[in-house]
C-alpha cells in the first residue's frame, strides 16, 4: 500500500508539473492568427507515411534507420510503460497479461528493442562527441543546445538500460521462485541464463529497483522535454498532420490584400462588407510573433534543430547569413520572450523588440530564394519559407523596404504593367523585321 501511495504522489506531481509547463506554452497560441485546415483523410495518410513510417528520415539510410528504430521501439515500449503505471497505482503485477499472445508479442518487442535503442543512442552520442557533423554547428547553435541534445540521449540510454535490467531480474525471479513468467523476454532470458543461481530476494530487489528507476526516468524525461529540442517527441506527429498539403512552391494569397483587390474591382461590395472592429488595422505580413498564424508557431515548437534544412539551403551553402533552422529557433525564442508580456497586457504589449529586425535581419530574409529545399528535407514537415515570405511581405508592404532590384521591378509593374522598363506600346518592338513563315 505504501508503494501505491508513493507512486500516486509521484505521478500526480509529474502530471502537475508537465501540464503547468504545457499550459504556459500553449496559452500563447491565442495571440497568433487563425488558419483553417481541411482534407483530414489525406492528412492522416501523410501522418502515417511521414511520422510513423519515417519516410523522410530514411532518405539518409544509416542515420535514418537508427532514428527509425528508436522511434518504432518507443512505440512498442510505451505499451509496457502504460502497464507499469497501472500496476503502480493499483498494486497489481503485469496487469495486461490477460491479453495472451498479443501481450507476449509486445513484451518480446520491448525486450528486443531496449538494447537496440541503447546501442543506437550510444551511436548518436559518439557522433556528437567525436564526429564533426557540419549541420550540428552554426551561429544559432549555442552550447546549451548541444548540452540539451546530449542530456536527452543520455536519459534515453539510461531508460533502456533500466528496462533491460528490469526484464533480466524479472526472469531471474521467476526462475528462482518457479513462477510462470508473464510475457516473453528473449534478451532477458539469454542474459539471465548467465546468472543462474541468484537468490529470489536479490532478483526481486533489483527488479523493483529498476522498475522504479525506469518509471522515474520517464517522469523526469517527460518534464525536461518541453524545455528541450526533444519536445518534438510530442509535437512532431501533430505537426506533420497540420502540414501544408499544396505543392511546396505554392504561395498563399494574403486575405487582407485579396479583400482590398476585390473591393477595387467591385466598388458595390464595399457597402456590403461588415463594418470592421475598432482598433489597429490588421498588419500586412509578419513583424513579430503575434502576426504569425498558429501553424507557424506550432512549426517553431516542433523544430528538432537537426539542421537538415540549413544543410541543403543554397543561400547558406554559398556563405549567406540565412539559416532556416535559425528562423524557427528565433520564432520560438521570441514567443518565449514576449509571450508572458502578451498574457499580462494583451496584444498591445510592446517591449521595443521585434522578430524582424531584432532577431532576424533583412539580409537574412532576402537571402532566401524560396526554393523550398528546407521544407522538402524537414523530417517533421515544417514549412520555413511560408514564415520567411510573410516577414518579407511585412518589409515590403509596411516598411517599403526591398532590395533595389525588386524596387525597380515594382516601379515598372506600377508604371508599365510588367517588370521590364518598357511601355506597353513598345512591348513588341523586338519582333519588328521578322518575317512570318507560312506553314502549308
Contact 110, 79 (CB under 8 A): yes
Distance CA 286, CA 387 (A): 8
> Which of 7, 85, 99 is closest to 77 using CA atoms?
85
Q: Which three cell numbers stand for residue 164?
A: 533491460
* DSSP H or E run through 77: helix 61-90
* pLDDT tens sequence across 314-338: 999 999 999 999 999 999 999 999 9
> Which of 30, 46, 44, 39 is closest to 293 using CA atoms?
30
Burial of 162 (0-12, 13-18, 19+ CB in 10 A): buried
Domain boundaries, the chain: 2-241, 255-269+283-416
Report whether pLDDT(140) > 70: yes
Distance CA 290, CA 295 (A): 12
> Which of 184, 204, 1 is closest to 108 using CA atoms?
184
Is there a common fold for 2-241 and 255-269+283-416? no
Residue 440: which pLDDT band, with cuts at 50, 70 and 90?
very low
pLDDT confidence of residue 269: 62
> Which of 255, 232, 292 is closest to 28 using CA atoms?
292
* pLDDT tens sequence across 56-86: 998 888 888 999 999 999 999 999 999 999 9
Report whether pLDDT(276) > 90: no
> Which of 339, 259, 246 is closest to 292 using CA atoms?
339
Q: Which three cell numbers stand for residue 128?
A: 556528437
pLDDT confidence of residue 340: 93
**N-to-C CA span, the chain:** 99
pLDDT confidence of residue 3: 84
* pLDDT tens sequence across 26-44: 899 999 999 999 899 999 9
Distance CA 326, CA 135 (A): 12
CATH class of 2-241: mainly alpha
- Range 411-437 average pLDDT: 79
- Range 104-118 average pLDDT: 96
- CATH for 255-269+283-416, among 1.10.357, 1.10.3470, 1.20.1740, 1.10.1060? 1.10.1060
Distance CA 309, CA 322 (A): 11
pLDDT confidence of residue 429: 80
CA atoms within 13 A on the CB side of 36: 3
Report whether pLDDT(373) > 80: yes
Distance CA 37, CA 299 (A): 15
pLDDT confidence of residue 130: 87
- Its pTM stands at 0.87
* pLDDT tens sequence across 194-247: 998 899 999 999 999 999 999 999 999 999 988 888 888 889 999 999 999 999
Report whether pLDDT(188) > 80: yes
Residue 280: which pLDDT band, with cuts at 50, 70 and 90?
low
- Range 358-376 average pLDDT: 95
- Range 124-143 average pLDDT: 88
Contact 69, 120 (CB under 8 A): yes
Q: Which three cell numbers stand for residue 214?
A: 525506469
pLDDT confidence of residue 132: 82
Residue 185: which pLDDT band, with cuts at 50, 70 and 90?
very high
Query: 65 CB contacts (<8 Å, ≥6 apart)?
Result: 58
Contact 368, 388 (CB under 8 A): yes
pLDDT confidence of residue 143: 86
Please identify which residue in the block is written with the cell numbers 516542433.
302
Report whether pLDDT(437) > 60: no
Report whether pLDDT(278) > 60: no
- Range 261-289 average pLDDT: 70
Q: Largest Cα–Cα distance in the chain?
A: 103
Distance CA 269, CA 284 (A): 21
Contact 180, 203 (CB under 8 A): no
Q: Which three cell numbers stand for residue 344?
A: 499580462
Q: In degrees rounded to 5, what are phi and psi of residue 360?
A: -115, 130
Report whether pLDDT(288) > 90: yes
Report whether pLDDT(258) > 90: no
**Mean pLDDT for the chain?**
90
98-107, 268-277, 393-402, range with greatest mean pLDDT:
98-107
Low-confidence winner among 58-72, 100-114, 414-428 (lowest mean pLDDT): 414-428
Distance CA 67, CA 37 (A): 29
pLDDT confidence of residue 273: 56
Q: Which three cell numbers stand for residue 179?
A: 513462477
Amino acid at each position: 500500500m505504501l508503494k501505491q501511495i508513493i507512486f500516486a504522489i509521484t505521478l500526480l506531481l509529474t502530471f502537475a508539473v508537465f501540464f503547468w509547463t504545457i499550459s504556459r506554452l500553449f496559452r500563447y497560441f491565442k495571440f497568433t492568427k487563425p488558419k483553417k485546415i481541411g482534407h483530414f483523410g489525406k492528412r492522416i495518410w501523410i501522418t502515417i507515411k511521414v511520422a510513423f513510417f519515417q519516410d523522410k528520415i530514411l532518405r539518409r539510410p544509416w542515420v535514418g534507420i537508427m532514428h527509425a528504430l528508436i522511434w518504432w521501439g518507443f512505440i512498442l515500449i510505451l505499451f509496457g510503460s502504460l502497464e507499469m503505471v497501472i500496476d503502480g497505482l493499483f498494486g497489481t503485477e503485469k496487469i495486461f497479461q490477460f491479453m495472451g499472445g498479443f501481450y507476449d508479442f509486445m513484451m518480446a518487442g520491448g525486450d528486443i528493442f531496449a538494447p537496440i535503442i541503447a546501442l543506437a543512442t550510444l551511436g548518436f552520442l559518439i557522433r556528437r562527441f567525436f564526429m564533426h557533423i557540419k549541420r550540428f554547428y552554426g551561429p544559432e547553435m549555442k552550447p546549451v543546445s548541444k548540452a540539451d541534445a546530449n542530456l536527452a540521449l543520455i536519459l534515453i540510454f539510461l531508460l533502456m538500460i533500466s528496462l533491460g535490467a528490469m526484464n533480466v531480474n524479472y526472469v531471474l525471479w521467476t526462475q528462482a521462485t518457479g513462477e510462470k513468467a508473464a510475457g516473453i523476454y528473449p534478451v532477458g532470458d539469454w542474459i539471465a541464463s548467465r546468472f543462474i543461481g541468484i537468490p529470489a530476494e536479490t532478483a526481486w530487489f533489483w527488479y523493483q529497483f529498476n522498475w522504479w528507476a525506469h518509471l522515474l526516468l520517464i517522469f523526469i524525461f517527460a518534464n525536461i522535454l518541453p524545455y528541450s529540442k526533444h519536445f518534438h517527441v510530442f509535437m512532431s506527429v501533430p505537426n506533420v498532420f497540420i502540414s501544408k498539403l499544396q505543392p511546396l512552391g505554392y504561395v498563399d494569397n494574403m486575405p487582407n490584400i485579396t479583400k482590398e483587390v476585390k473591393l477595387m474591382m467591385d466598388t458595390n461590395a464595399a457597402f456590403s462588407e461588415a463594418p470592421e472592429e475598432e482598433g489597429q488595422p490588421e498588419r500586412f505580413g509578419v513583424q513579430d510573433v503575434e502576426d504569425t498564424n498558429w501553424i507557424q508557431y506550432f512549426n517553431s515548437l516542433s523544430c528538432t534543430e537537426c539542421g537538415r534544412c540549413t544543410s541543403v539551403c543554397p543561400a547558406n551553402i554559398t556563405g549567406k547569413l540565412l539559416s532556416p533552422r535559425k528562423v524557427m529557433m528565433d520564432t520560438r525564442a521570441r514567443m518565449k520572450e514576449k509571450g508572458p508580456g502578451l498574457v499580462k497586457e494583451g496584444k498591445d504589449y510592446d517591449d521595443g523588440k521585434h522578430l524582424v529586425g531584432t532577431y532576424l535581419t533583412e539580409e537574412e530574409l532576402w537571402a532566401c530564394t524560396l526554393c523550398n529545399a528546407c521544407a522538402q528535407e524537414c523530417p517533421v514537415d515544417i514549412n520555413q519559407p511560408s514564415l520567411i515570405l510573410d516577414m518579407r511581405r511585412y518589409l515590403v508592404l509596411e516598411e517599403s523596404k526591398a532590395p533595389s532590384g525588386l524596387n525597380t521591378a515594382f516601379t515598372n509593374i506600377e508604371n508599365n504593367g510588367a517588370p521590364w522598363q518598357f511601355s506597353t506600346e513598345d512591348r513588341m518592338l523586338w519582333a519588328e523585321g521578322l518575317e512570318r513563315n507560312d506553314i502549308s
